[in-house]
Structure 1
Amino acid sequence: MSIFRHLIFSAIGILFTLFLGSGCKSVPVLVESNPVGAKVTSSGKDIGTTPVNVEVSSMFSKTLDLLAEGYLNESLTVDASSAPEVRVELVRQMPLALNTDPEGALVFSEDGRVMGTTPYDFFHLEGELPLVLKMKGYMDEEIVVGPANSPELNVELVPVSPGNLFAVLSRNLSDGRLTISRVYSSPTIVESGGNADALVRVTEIMGYRVIDSFSLFPGGDGIALSLIDISNPFENPSASSSIWSAGVDGTGGLVRRTETGYFDLQPTYSPEGDFLFFASNRAGGSSIFRIASTGRGGSTLMTSQSGRDNFPDVEPSGERIFYSSYLRGLKEPQIWSQPLPNGPPSQLRTGFRPRVSPDGKSLLFTRYNTSTESNKIWKMRTDGSEVTELASTGASNDMYPSWSPDGGEIVFASDRGANLEKEPTRLDIWIMNADGSNVRQLTTNSSRDDQPVFSPDGDAIYFRSNRGLAWNIWRLSL
């Protein structure tokens, strides 16, 4: 039996030897890498540095590891079919020292994972890496790390101030939610353009308050504004807003015109100044209301759309109001016309924030242009006909248009001319002829200047701005 077993094993050995001799040969495979010079190992044994020839059995595969300083380790499996060569593109990982002033900011990845606390040293791959820096008492800072940032990136965190807060109320005002977004507010109020001496601050808003919008009294001696009072701005912010009035020269202080507990926004005076129209959630959702400009006598519901009605404006005759509304099921707001006091509304066009011309025949409004992915200013007749886009300049955002008293000019806010990579929230005040020609810039500041309106005599422009780290109304003499 033992002799028989010996003969069997001998036969197997002879056959295996013949098999190896006839078919199991080594095949050279040239392994290259970019960059060259990567160390190549297999099962912990050094083979050489790229480019290097690796002997591979025709019957078996071999796993290789490529190591190069400053690059991710790469593993690959080669066999006879890999011949005559394989090439590996190594992925560079770059060191970065991320510092903040002050130190101690949490570093979050794009998916919300906490990566560490500044100062934070790490490696990142080629390409762009979005990060968010968070620290109590400071605005969240969104940064994108790329090759240009290595080996060190220093970020100065911006303390939370009223001018840094841009209060955005939820689409449905009845739920009372508030989103605080970050806007840049320059600590300086100085004009970079040529109108520095003509600029005067009208209001002096204190505390964590954001001016939502404002309206000039038709006689030119008063101003109505909606103030959003932000509670607990650092964590879980909440807010309410009311309508206030003040002297247009900043005298007399602020006088409350609507009660607290609601979101009262976007006031506009009637042509005679005896009423204020505004958007509010006091009936649930958002509707247009009217009160006496003194605030006495309670409010009257003017619209009852099934969406969100906002940005009212009254035609010079006082017979109609125009407003925009976000209707359920529609992605973009629509402009509506409605006879006063409570006539049936008529839908005009897609757009928002309509403004009636002094002769009552035309409307200015803003509409999103899908081809340029930016807001643009449009003009149409008050019946919705003869729609024209004004002064379009590519991807710039033009918004908040308003008529001059004689209807010959239009003042508006725009980010044209701004460095949007460094100043993504910047807007300046611009002016043009009513046909869109002769466009020129009036204010130049790295903060956000918006909502410009002419004074009734046409000698000045009033606008909202967060320059100086607080939201206020400013006057620019022409």
Structure 2
Amino acid sequence: MIQRLLCIVALALLVGGCATTRVVTISTKPADATISIDGVTRGRGPITETFTFSSAEQTHRVVASRMGYKDTPVTLNRDYRRQDLLIELKPLTRVIHITVAPVPAIISVDGKPITSEPVSAVSKELEFTVDSKNQWITHTITAERPNYDPAVQTVSWTDRDPSYTLLLQAKKKNLNITTEPPGADVLIDYEKLGVSPVRGAAVEFPVDPASNEFIPRKLRAEKPGYMPGEITISWDSGRTDYHVDLGVYTKDIRIVTDPPGAVVKIDGHEIPSDRSGAAFATLQFPPVNEKAELKTYTCTVSKKTADSEWEPQSFTIGWENGRTEYRVTLKEILTRPVKLLMPNMRRSDDGWEVVPEWVDTIAMKDVTEPERPSPQQLTRLAKGTQIGSLAVSPDGSRLVFAVLSASPDAGTGRTAARSEFCSQLLLINTDGSGGASILTDGKSLDLMPWYSPRGDQILFSSNRSARKLQVHAISADGAPGITRLTTGDTNDLWPTIDSDPKPRLFYQAMVDTRADPRLYMTQLGTIFQTDLTTLGGTQPRVSPRNDAIIFAAVNEKTGKRDIFRVRDSGGVPQNLTNTPDADECDPSWSRDGSKIVFASDRATADGRNNYDIWMLDLSNAQGPAHEPVQITANASHDDCPVFDLSGSSVFFRSNRGGQWQIWNIAVK
């Protein structure tokens, strides 16, 4: 038994003598890590530990642990001969995945680029640990691209998802916008920002991915009544203050006229014309009221030449959506206003006197006739010449007429001096050849000429011998000597003489004691006078047959004149025309006494009564006359007609063409 016990002790001693021990001081980095040895927590280092190794295969496991670090195990065997052990813990790591939108960018982590070129996605392993207070230390990831605001995000160990998306944002700046005028709507790319002045409006400035340049934006200002103002803006190095001027609506207009070369006035001011004759101007259209209604202009177009005139046209030019071209067709004025100087008998307390009277007449520019051959113009008198009545010589070769003159304001309320109103008698050939020859000197008033039946004398009314008009006679060939045929105290007008063996003088007499004109007949060489009719009348003309007188007389109810016929010895007159609403005058016989011509305004032209030449057949002896036939219809003022020798044409006074001349027209 004792021997057995000794063997056991010897065996134990043998075994105990083969074990290896190591004394090791264990520390960590960081120093406050917790140390576990063979699964037993020993606390924070440094820890000195004796490790026994019974065999070469035996090991001891030391683990250092700390929040924010990976557990770091170290295995020791008996070959570890150092007296200290420093365990360095490594931070935790995680692979994160970064996506960039909307365009690739340079990615940085904690300010250090992890890509050298712009990328849309990248993965990166990051270390994560904690600070001294055991707070997790985060990382900052940043996406950067020129002309964008950087996209920044914080990455922490505690994030559940390791995938991150960085969204690049367009740059923004706070704009301050003013306009002239203020109060305009301010828009960026047609989206309203506000009403000017705009302060601190945040506006993005996107970038073109292809060029990496800022996309320009339209800054626009709108206000009713003004032209929108628009400028292009961009990042402009961060500039924030902008000003926009609104324009006044402006356009360059061009006015084309027909006929070209018309005078164009805008608001009374003439505007120039280009080489083509079109007028042009630059017009502005500012608002004129709170309703933002735009200014308008009045344009007047007119044209007048020495020979023609057109009706002026006026129209309004507005903005009209920027319309620039206007075409104006003028209507030619086919009529002309022409003054007619007439001797007018006026009765005052001192009796009858002759005064000048200017009458407005209308003339057609066109001298032709609409339905018959055009008349022949016999005279070429100067413009403004005033022609009186006319008469044809019995042989038909010569024509005598009066030319009157007076101051332009005579007959307008001013009493004209006697020398200011005068006339003279002229002679022309009826075939239009040669010029006019002067018969009287023009120092007195010589009017209403008429040939004697033999054609050797010309009778006329004149104040050359007295203050009143009296009948005179002058040689038809202009030989010296003028004979006064009446010497009474009446004004004697429209003389005409017959061819009886004892010639009789017929004339119109204005008797101071009577208000109406009288028709007198007196035997030449006597002082006796016969008042031919109780009706009275004007413009008497004796028939070539010496048996009747035609004359004009006023209808007291209408104030219009009719043409009458009365026997040469007087009596009850016959109304030949009987037109109460028309004025008829200037009667004259044909050479055979079968017809008369006269002037009448029974026809209308452009809505007005107009004097034309008419012819009436009196071949029915003393019976009813035929219906009158209109000879002229030009719509000019035609009067004072007289037949030619054959009765196939009529000479007359007319203002056609715009001035008084003597014309001849065929009546057959």
Please state which band the TM-score falls in when normalised by the shorter chain.
Answer: 0.5 to 0.7
Cα pair 1:368 1:376 within 8 Å, conserved: yes
Residue aligning to 2:343: 169
When residues 341 and 203 of structure 1 are mapped into structure 2, their CA distance, relative to the original with a 3 A threshold, is farther
Amino acid at match of 2:608: E
Residue aligning to 2:553: 367
Q: Distance in 1 between matches of 2:635 and 2:552?
A: 23
Q: Distance in 1 between matches of 2:485 and 2:646?
A: 30
Residue aligning to 1:219: 395
- CA-CA distance at 1:200 after TM superposition: 0.8
Residue aligning to 2:424: 242
Residue aligning to 1:398: 584
Deviations 1:421-468 (A, max 9, x none): 8435x2011112214213221110221111111111112111111111
Secondary structure of the residue aligned to 2:362 is coil
- CA-CA distance at 1:269 after TM superposition: 0.8
Cα pair 2:342 2:388 within 8 Å, conserved: no
Q: CA RMSD in A?
A: 3.3
Residue aligning to 1:451: 640
Residue aligning to 2:366: 188
1:334 aligns with 2:508: no
Residue aligning to 2:470: 287
1:268 aligns with 2:457: no
Secondary structure of the residue aligned to 1:196 is coil
**Unmatched segments (≥5 aa) in structure 1:** 1-100, 105-155
Q: Distance in 1 between matches of 2:468 and 2:346?
A: 6
- CA-CA distance at 1:233 after TM superposition: 6.9
Secondary structure of the residue aligned to 1:242 is strand
Cα pair 2:341 2:405 within 8 Å, conserved: no
Amino acid at match of 1:470: Q
Q: Distance in 2 between matches of 1:339 and 1:329?
A: 23
Larger radius of gyration: 2
Secondary structure of the residue aligned to 1:415 is strand
When residues 385 and 472 of structure 1 are mapped into structure 2, their CA distance, relative to the original with a 3 A threshold, is same
Secondary structure of the residue aligned to 1:416 is strand
Secondary structure of the residue aligned to 2:640 is strand
Deviations 1:287-330 (A, max 9, x none): 10011112222211111232211001111337111000111121
- CA-CA distance at 1:246 after TM superposition: 1.1
- CA-CA distance at 1:185 after TM superposition: 1.8
Deviations 1:11-64 (A, max 9, x none): xxxxxxxxxxxxxxxxxxxxxxxxxxxxxxxxxxxxxxxxxxxxxxxxxxxxxx
Q: Distance in 2 between matches of 1:306 and 1:274?
A: 28
- CA-CA distance at 1:377 after TM superposition: 0.6
Residue aligning to 2:459: 277
Equivalences, count: 326
Secondary structure of the residue aligned to 1:457 is coil
User: What is the correspondence of 1:68-467 to structure 2 with a 5 Å cutoff?
Assistant: 164-171=338-345, 177-192=355-370, 194-197=371-374, 199-231=375-407, 238-282=420-464, 283-317=466-500, 319-349=503-533, 350-419=536-605, 422-424=607-609, 426-434=610-618, 435-467=624-656
Bigger relative contact order, structure 1 or 2 (CA pairs below 8 A, ≥6 apart): 1
- CA-CA distance at 1:172 after TM superposition: 6.5
* TM-score normalised to structure 1 length: 0.62
- CA-CA distance at 1:375 after TM superposition: 0.3
When residues 378 and 263 of structure 1 are mapped into structure 2, their CA distance, relative to the original with a 3 A threshold, is same
When residues 399 and 232 of structure 1 are mapped into structure 2, their CA distance, relative to the original with a 3 A threshold, is closer
- CA-CA distance at 1:177 after TM superposition: 4.5
- CA-CA distance at 1:239 after TM superposition: 3.7
Q: Distance in 1 between matches of 2:588 and 2:342?
A: 22
Amino acid at match of 2:643: F
Cα pair 2:338 2:655 within 8 Å, conserved: yes
Q: Distance in 2 between matches of 1:231 and 1:375?
A: 29
- CA-CA distance at 1:391 after TM superposition: 2.5
Deviations 1:95-116 (A, max 9, x none): xxxxxx9999xxxxxxxxxxxx
- CA-CA distance at 1:230 after TM superposition: 4.3
Q: Distance in 2 between matches of 1:240 and 1:296?
A: 21
Deviations 1:122-145 (A, max 9, x none): xxxxxxxxxxxxxxxxxxxxxxxx
1:474 aligns with 2:663: yes
Residue aligning to 2:307: none
Q: Distance in 2 between matches of 1:380 and 1:176?
A: 27
- CA-CA distance at 1:242 after TM superposition: 0.4
Deviations 1:47-104 (A, max 9, x none): xxxxxxxxxxxxxxxxxxxxxxxxxxxxxxxxxxxxxxxxxxxxxxxxxxxxxx9999
Identity %: 28
Cα pair 1:209 1:230 within 8 Å, conserved: no
Q: Distance in 2 between matches of 1:449 and 1:304?
A: 34
Q: Distance in 1 between matches of 2:538 and 2:345?
A: 14
Cα pair 2:353 2:491 within 8 Å, conserved: no
Cα pair 1:172 1:308 within 8 Å, conserved: no
4+ long deviations beyond 6 Å:
101-104, 172-176, 233-237
When residues 390 and 170 of structure 1 are mapped into structure 2, their CA distance, relative to the original with a 3 A threshold, is closer
Secondary structure of the residue aligned to 1:185 is strand
- CA-CA distance at 1:202 after TM superposition: 1.2
Cα pair 1:172 1:285 within 8 Å, conserved: no
- CA-CA distance at 1:369 after TM superposition: 1.0
* TM-score normalised to structure 2 length: 0.45
Q: Distance in 1 between matches of 2:653 and 2:344?
A: 22
**Unmatched segments (≥5 aa) in structure 2:** 1-263, 269-330, 619-623
Amino acid at match of 2:383: G
Q: Distance in 2 between matches of 1:225 and 1:307?
A: 23
When residues 274 and 172 of structure 1 are mapped into structure 2, their CA distance, relative to the original with a 3 A threshold, is farther
Secondary structure of the residue aligned to 2:493 is strand
Q: Distance in 2 between matches of 1:310 and 1:353?
A: 8
- CA-CA distance at 1:337 after TM superposition: 0.3
Secondary structure of the residue aligned to 1:468 is helix
Residue aligning to 1:130: none
Amino acid at match of 1:339: Q
Cα pair 2:617 2:627 within 8 Å, conserved: yes
Residue aligning to 1:39: none
Residue aligning to 1:27: none
Secondary structure of the residue aligned to 1:437 is coil
Deviations 1:223-275 (A, max 9, x none): 11111134557998844200111111222211111112101011111111111
- CA-CA distance at 1:472 after TM superposition: 1.2
